[in-house]
Every structure is written in C-alpha cells, then in structure tokens.
Amino acid sequence: MGHEHSKLSEPKGSRRARFKERLRRHLHRRQSGNGSSANKPLTADNFAGIALLALLSAEMEFKDKWIACVSLGEQTFRTSTSDSTDKPVWNSEKKLLLEQNGAHVARISVFETNKLSSNTLVGYCEVDLLEFLTKDSDPEAEVFNLLDPSVPGKVVGNISISCSVEDPIETEKGFVKRILSIVDYNEDGMLSLSEFSDLIDAFGNQVANSKKEELFKAADKNGDGVVSMEELASLLTFQQEQEPLLNCCPVCGEILQISDRLNSMIHLTLCFDEGTGNQVMTGGFLTDKQASYGWFFKLSEWAHFSSYDVGIRSGSSASHILVYDRKSQRLVEEIIDKKIVLSMRAIYQSKIGLGLMDIGVKELLQSISEKQGARMDSPESSADIPRFIESFKDQINLAEVKYPLEHFKTFNEFFIRELKPDSRPIVSAERDDIAVCAADCRLSAFKSVDDSKRFWIKGRKFSVQGLLGKDMCSSAFVDGTMVIFRLAPQDYHRFHFPVSGTVEQFVDIPGCLYTVNPIAVNSKYCNVFTDNKRVVSIISTVEFGKVAFVAIGATMVGSINFTKKKGDSVKKGDEFGYFSFGGSTVICVFEKDSIAIDEDLLANSTRALETLVSGIITGGLIFAAHIRTLLLQIPIARAVTMVNVPKTKKTYCKSKECRKHTLHKVTQYKKGKDSIAAQGKRRYDRKQSGYGGQTKPVFHKKAKTTKKIVLRLQCQGCKHVSQHPIKRCKHFEIGGDKKGKGTSLF
C-alpha cells in the first residue's frame, strides 16, 4: 500500500530524503538559536504529499462513550463511538492530502457522547504532520497529551496516534507497481508488449494508446522485448508528470481530473488499497463540532431543513456561522446560543420580522441595550465573568490578559479588558506602507463596495454614502476598497489604528442597535450598517490617502468609546477605542486603488466566508499598500536638492519572469537635458523712473524646467532593471517655496 513505502529506506538523493534533511537542519537551527533562519517559521511551501493518520486509542480521566475527530483544512473526519470505558480504542485511519501552501497542522478532538444533548468536547491536541517527515522511522504509536479547552495548559488525558507521510513521487511509483502486477499474467515480474498494451487500454486514454509501443521501447533498454516493473514504473511516473496517461480509474471507472493530478493519484491509491485491517474514519464534515453531533441533534437539524455549509445563510439555513481560522487554516463554527439564532432568524430573515421593526422592536432593542449596559456596569455583574469564560471555552486566552480576573469589579471591566503589551506584535512596525488588522475579528475584505454587496451585504439600501454620511463621503471613497472587522462577544473588544497618520475629525451618526451578526447582515430585509448607530472618523495618511474608519454599535453595545481625539498623530497598532458589552463591527473604507488586500482574504470573502484573525497581526502581512509615490528629498549636486522624487514607483514590470504590477525600488537617478531657462528664468524689471537693473527671482508661468528626471528602477520581485522618466511641472520658483502646482528646485 501507498503508506508502506514511507517505512522503506530512502534512496540517496530522493526528494523526500532531501526534504527530511532540510527539516532536520531547520529544527536544529531553531533549537540552537543560531543563524538568521532560526526565527523563520517552517512553511509547507516545499512539500505536497499524502499522510496516513491513524487514531488508535486514548486514556481519559473517567468512563464514558467516546468519539474522536480529526480536522485538517476544510475537512473533518470522525471515528465510530467506543464502548463505555476510560480507555477507548478506535483503530481508525484516514489518508489526508497535504497540499503545497495548504494546511498541515491537524487538530484532534475527543468528545464524550450524550444521548439527548450535543456531545461535549473534553480534550484536544494539535499535530504537525510534516514533523513525521523528520523521523528516521515511523513508530507504531506516538502519545500526545489532550488539553482541556476551558483551562489553558491543563492535561485531561492522552491519545495514541500513528502517522506516515510520503512524497507523491513515491506514492505514484508504489501505485504503478501495484497496477502493473494486475496485467503480469505469468507472474514473472516482467511485462511483455501485449501485457502493457492491455494496461494502457484500461487507462482509458486514447491519445496515449497510440504511443504505447513508443513508451514500451523507451523502457526496454536492452531490446529483449520485455521490461521489469521497476523500469516501467519509473517511466510511467515520469510520463505522468509530462503528459497524463490515466484518464479514468481502472477499478471504479470514475473520470479523473487531469488538472488535479495529486487528487487523482489519491483516488487511485484508495481504490487499489487492500486495507490495513483498521476502520476508515467517516468523512464529509466541515468542522469537528458538526462531526460530533449526536442523532437527536441531527434530527432537529433535519426538521428545520438547514444546510451546514460556508457562504451566505438566509431563511431557515441561517442556523450555523462558519469562519476560516487563518492561523490554523481550519474551518471553525462560531459559538452562538440556538435560542438567539432562532430569534435573529425570526426578526431579520423574514418580512414579518421587518414588520415588527416598524411597530416597536427598534425601540425595544434600544431599551434592552440601555438596561443591559447599566447592569453590566454594576458590581453584581462580576459573577457572570466565570460563566462567560466557560461558555466560550478555549476561545478566550486568559494568559494574554493584562490583569488577573480578581482585578475586574464589573463585567464590563472584563469585557473591555486590556492585553499584555507583547501579545499583539505589529508586523513591519517601521513601515507605514503596510496596514494591519484593526481588531481581533472575523474579517471580510472586498476590492470595491459593489463586491461587498454582491458577496456579503444584502441590505437593499446599502451604499458608501449611507455608511459614511453625506458630509464625510468624498468621491474617492465611492469605488474604494472596504474591509469589515466583525467582533464577536468572546473577542478582545478594543480596536486599533490599521494605518499611521493624523485623526482629522469625528462625526456621530445616530441610529438603531441591530445585531451585526451575519444572519442580519446577509438579510435583504434590513440595512444593518447604514441604520445602526455609528461614529465615522477620517484618518489622513501619506501612503493611503484618506481612510474612513467607522465604529458601529450593535445590540447590547450602546457605548462606543474613543481614546484618541481630533488632531492626534497616530501609528498603526495604537489603540483607538473600545466597545462595551456585545458584538460590534469596525469598517474601514480606503480610497480607490490605494491598497492591495492579501489574496487569501479576498478569496475567502468572495465565498462569503469570514476569516478569523486573532490579533493585530497573525504571522504575515494583512495588507500591503499600493504605494502611490512616496516623496523623498534626494541630493542631486552640491547645495542642490530635488523634491517630489519617488523612492518607489508602481509600474508595469515587463520582464518575462514577472509580467505584473510590482513595486519598483529607485536605485539611481539622473537629470535629463536642461534648457537655458531651466536654471531659472530671471525677469528683469527695468523701469526708467525706478530701480532699473535690479534683478528679482519671481514666479513665472512661462518658464521651462528640466525636461525630465530619469529613474533607474529595479523590480522587487524579479529584480528586472528598467528606466522610468518623470516629467516635471513647468511652474517653479528660484529660492522660494512650493506654490500651486510648482516645485522648488533650489
């Protein structure tokens, strides 16, 4: 079987062997602390393959019936239910695909089962599957501690697993050997041309069928009319890389996708897999919570016809909220009480609910928010803090909180808790051309407001003018980029500046207090963002132009508080303000073409899938600016300075390796040819009765300047070098300041 090849000795110089050695060197440097690469996290960019993961058994602290789930990326699998014991045995396995740039950390969760209620998560662990590549041999089992989701660091049991990971090339060779043995009729380990011809026919590839004799001769090195399976396996593996031979599965007849070669190989491997004697885990789940549902809960799900999936949820299907965790690269279900879900569906997802809004529900929500806000500020509300933490289990990291729980005298004090200074590091803090996330949030990003209305915001009256107000909305914002930061109750509820600049102004816009939950935002019957109470502020920046920052109140959030005032100069990551109890949202609107959003955030948003971003930065760039033209004074000659010369320039890179818009770095500059007037035309005011002969430098609209400045540019991506001329404005003054469109040369 495919996974057995990983236990064989590695051929010297094989890709898997080289990768294992590279991993060993990386781990050695990381442990010793030597070398600049020691601090760089290991990525999955260098490897793609198949992992056979087996959940064998566990040891728990009490007896019950247990199930285990394993989640990787957007797939989750579960075992069968064990007998009532404190030492459950499953012996269940599953082959998992490890993609390049994809998820490679699997989360294993163990649940105790309940007959009439949802199953309870007892413990979990996370396993980096790529680390198994660094092991010299695959052990029979490895034991991992199970951590309590409610108490950080507490061990509640352990689980035994085994895992083997193999290179796709090794998988293909092993598969080819097995499939060739089927047509080896005389079982001599050699294939004749007729036997090989039967095999090609089974592949279902008519194009390759005409080349089978050519392929066979290529493998028949000595020309004796037969080839060994080892020779033919190597040839077919190489040929499959160049031009796919397999169009359909010889076992089940399923058509294989030529564009997805690795998944096709996994399908074939599974079809030809004789099995190991272990049970195969059940699949088809998106999250471990879905996989752990008991029969009673599944029946209730069937009763109201909901669908468990990503994307916009409307009507009866609006019962689950799935978000993509950017850090773990895994789908997770947002925790929300089912009674609240039903209430929100009744109010926001129906015309009847819309009618209720017009006959007093708005005023009721306002009254509830005011009363609940007053209660959360009372000393008695501190008793709710432990229950609140328990309800969200492992989603609140108390180790990051600045003060111990005893410090908080009211619930709201805990809700607006501060974090320790180093818990949210800022990416590229010295670079103002890189923006960061404004809060712990579920993030949606759209290149334009039209995209946001197409993929996420379904309110019929939503517009930028309605969001920002007539006084704050300039024409540059109309087609601008929009980023939505939705805060859930369990999140850190202080928001921060995503960019560096100056706070220009604040405008309070009164409104309702609808929920900002996707169930309401995805509804066509209400306009949450334009009807809710909000505060709009404008941040003036050098790199991004104007940035509109909108803090939106929600149900239970009547209070929006700011810690900065008009005129303050701020750095990205500085605290801007906080929300009191409840869920809430921040929206940033950037001017058109002023920012480039990370592709993974845009891709998720086009699927109507929010991205969970924990912290101001989570291990990479959140946004990168389209740097317009950063102004820098560059010395040109003695006592001469040129201003408005860019140090970077966004141009179209024309090299074959790049062929895309890339930031270029200015490495050299030179002046173009000057005219006589370029040194500054002096107009002599000669008056017969005055001071004739006096010369005076003046602003002269007809004066000519340097024809051009030539910049030597180097693409930061492919290092392609080019020259870029910059034409100067003809309005200038000698020895004076900038006037109008003019620029001072001296």
SS3 sequence, 57-119? EEEECCCECEEEEEEECCEEEECCCCCCECCCEEEEEEEEEECCCCCCEEEEEEEECCCCCCC
Confidence of residue 681 (pLDDT cuts 50, 70, 90): very low
pLDDT at 649 (0 to 100): 46
**Residue predicted with more confidence, 591 or 284:** 591
pLDDT for 268: 66
Share above pLDDT 70 across residues of the chain, in percent, rounded to a whole number: 53
pLDDT digits (tens, 9 = 90+) for 475-490: 888 888 999 998 888 8
Q: How confident is the model at residue 147 (pLDDT cuts 50, 70, 90)?
A: very high
Quote the CA–CA distance of 627 and 215 in Å, as a whole number. 53
Position 264: which residue type? S
pLDDT in tens, 624-669: 443 332 222 222 222 223 333 344 444 555 555 555 544 555 444 4
Q: What's the average model confidence in pLDDT over 550-563?
A: 77
Mean pLDDT lowest for which of 93-107, 357-371, 372-386, 410-424? Answer: 357-371
Q: Are 365 and 513 in contact (CB under 8 A)?
A: yes
| pLDDT at residue 578 tops 70 | yes
Query: Percent of the chain scored above 90 by pLDDT?
Result: 18
pLDDT, position 94: 87
Greatest mean pLDDT among 85-89, 308-312, 595-599: 85-89
Walk across the sheet containing 155-166 and list its strands. 279-280, 89-98, 49-60, 155-166, 142-147, 120-128, 105-112, 66-72, 75-78, 282-285
Q: What's the mean pLDDT in 462-467?
A: 83
Looking at per-residue pLDDT, the higher value among 447 and 185 belongs to 447
* CB within 8 Å of 104: residues ≥ 6 apart: 44, 72, 98, 128, 129, 130
- Of the listed ranges 177-186, 478-487, 681-690, 711-720, the one predicted with least confidence: 681-690
First to last CA, the chain: 77
pLDDT of residue 64: 92
pLDDT top residue among 328 and 158: 158
Alpha-carbon distance of 523 to 460, in angstroms, equals 9
3-class state of residue 170 by DSSP: helix
What pLDDT score was predicted for residue 715? Answer: 64
pTM: 0.65
Closest C-alpha among 385, 389, 486 to residue 440: 486
Q: Residue 709: which H helix or E strand, with range?
A: strand 709-715
User: pLDDT tens digits for 255-304?
Assistant: 665 555 556 666 666 666 655 556 778 777 778 777 777 554 444 444 44
Question: What's the confidence (pLDDT) of residue 310?
Answer: 67
Determine the 3-state secondary structure of 535 from DSSP: strand
Domains (range + CATH), the chain: 46-168 (2.60.40.150), 169-245 (1.10.238.10), 426-625 (2.70.70), 636-669+708-736 (3.10.450.80)
Helices 212-219 and 229-242, axial angle in degrees (round to 10): 130
Task: Name the average pLDDT for the chain.
Answer: 70
Please list the active-site residues: 440, 496, 584
Tokens standing for residue 78: 């579960």
What is the reported pLDDT for 479?
A: 84
Task: Band the pLDDT of 36: cuts 50, 70, 90.
Answer: very low
Helix axes 193-203, 168-182, angle to 10 degrees: 120
Residue 208's region, left for phi above 0, alpha for psi from -120 to 50, else beta, is alpha
pLDDT at 576: 95
**How far apart, in whole angstroms, are the C-alpha atoms of residue 155 and residue 146?**
6
Q: Which of 206-210, 342-346, 533-537, 556-560 has the highest mean pLDDT?
A: 533-537
